[in-house]
Amino acid sequence: MISIGGRTVTRIIAHRGSKGTHPENTLAAFKEAVHVGSDGIELDVQLSKDNHLIVIHDERVDRTTNGHGEVRDLTLAELKELDAGSWFKKNPVIQEIPTLEEVVLFLKKENFRGLLNIEIKTDKVPYDRIEQLLVQLMTSQNWPFEYMYSSFYFESLEKIWQIDKKQTIALIFDMSEKAERQALLTDFVEGIHPKIDWVLEHKEELADFPKSIRPWTVNEEKEMMFCFRHHLTGIHTDYPKKALELRGAMQN
């Protein structure tokens, strides 16, 4: 939750930038997320062959670029030759795949003051040293925005916490009761990022849940309203502009 005009409201986090309107995980999507006034931005991080932190959702480049292959088999120079924006039919625009460093510098330049949620994509490929590289970059300067780490892969979160105990850490899951228990039993886990369906099915427990709850992906108005009314900490949405307008209308 954040405070706006003395009221506590659910934080609106732009999922992969503004994924519903711009090509996901590109500077165009992050720019849109900042310009509409998102309270937060979520992005996904994988590691290139030469150990650069790359902002892309899939382990392969095929779906969101004009290239082929696994991110871990491509160097930064090879990844930089690809176009990650023209595939997006709704709003095609030529875009490079950004590195995490480029994104955080961009957010700083854009005066972003919200929360950056860095999702560590280690649930399919457990990239060696990705956690060390993340903490190294993120602690290299005082960013003007807040940031946190999240992952489906508990071991990555544990590694982050072992390296730097001051970090805000959340466990992502879909409907898993096991993950929910693991989050509840682990002190360093500040919050849970479950699939929206989990939230809808656990509505009686939300008010007393002892950790932050920021579900994904909340795109329907009815679901957004449900989350706002239940005072959830945050939502991840592909449509931050729509969510901000709806939250504003509900406050009036």
Distances (CA, A) of 98 to 83, 89, 158, 233: 11, 20, 26, 28
Asked if 219 and 238 count as a contact pair (C-beta separation under 8 A), the reply is yes
Residue 193 touches which of ligand G3P, Mg ion, none (Cβ within 5-8 Å per kind): ligand G3P
> Of 17, 21, 36, 42, which lies in the binding site for ligand G3P, with binding defined by CB under 6 A?
42
Question: Applying CB under 6 A, does 232 fall inside the site for ligand G3P?
Answer: no
Nearer to ligand G3P, 57 or 211 (CB): 57
Asked if 192 and 183 count as a contact pair (C-beta separation under 8 A), the reply is yes
Residue 186: CB minimum distance to ligand G3P, A: 18
Q: How far apart are CA 22 and CA 27, in angstroms?
A: 9
Residue 119: CB minimum distance to Mg ion, A: 4
Question: Applying CB under 6 A, does 148 fall inside the site for ligand G3P?
Answer: no
Contacts (Cβ under 8 Å, ≥6 apart) of 245? none
Q: How big is the site for ligand G3P, counted in residues (CB under 6 A)?
A: 10
Q: Which residue numbers are catalytic?
A: 15, 57
Nearer to ligand G3P, 44 or 131 (CB): 44
Residue 72: count other Cβ atoms within 10 Å of its Cβ: 16
Report the chain's C-alpha Rg in angstroms.
Answer: 17
Q: How far apart are CA 229 and CA 238, in angstroms?
A: 20
Nearer to Mg ion, 44 or 131 (CB): 44
Question: Applying CB under 5 A, does 44 fall inside the site for Mg ion?
Answer: yes
Residue 227 is which amino acid? C
Question: Applying CB under 6 A, does 190 fall inside the site for ligand G3P?
Answer: no
Question: Applying CB under 6 A, does 238 fall inside the site for ligand G3P?
Answer: no
Identify which of 17, 7, 72 has the alpha carbon closest to the alpha carbon of residue 43. Answer: 17
Residue 115: CB minimum distance to Mg ion, A: 14
Question: Applying CB under 5 A, does 238 fall inside the site for Mg ion?
Answer: no
> Of 216, 226, 228, 239, which lies in the binding site for ligand G3P, with binding defined by CB under 6 A?
216
> Of 193, 241, 242, 247, which lies in the binding site for ligand G3P, with binding defined by CB under 6 A?
193
- Measure CA 155 to chain center: 18
Q: Return the residue matching tokens 């099915």.
A: 201
Judged by the rule CB under 6 A, the positions of this chain that interact with ligand G3P are 15, 42, 44, 57, 119, 150, 172, 193, 216, 236
Judged by the rule CB under 5 A, the positions of this chain that interact with Mg ion are 44, 119
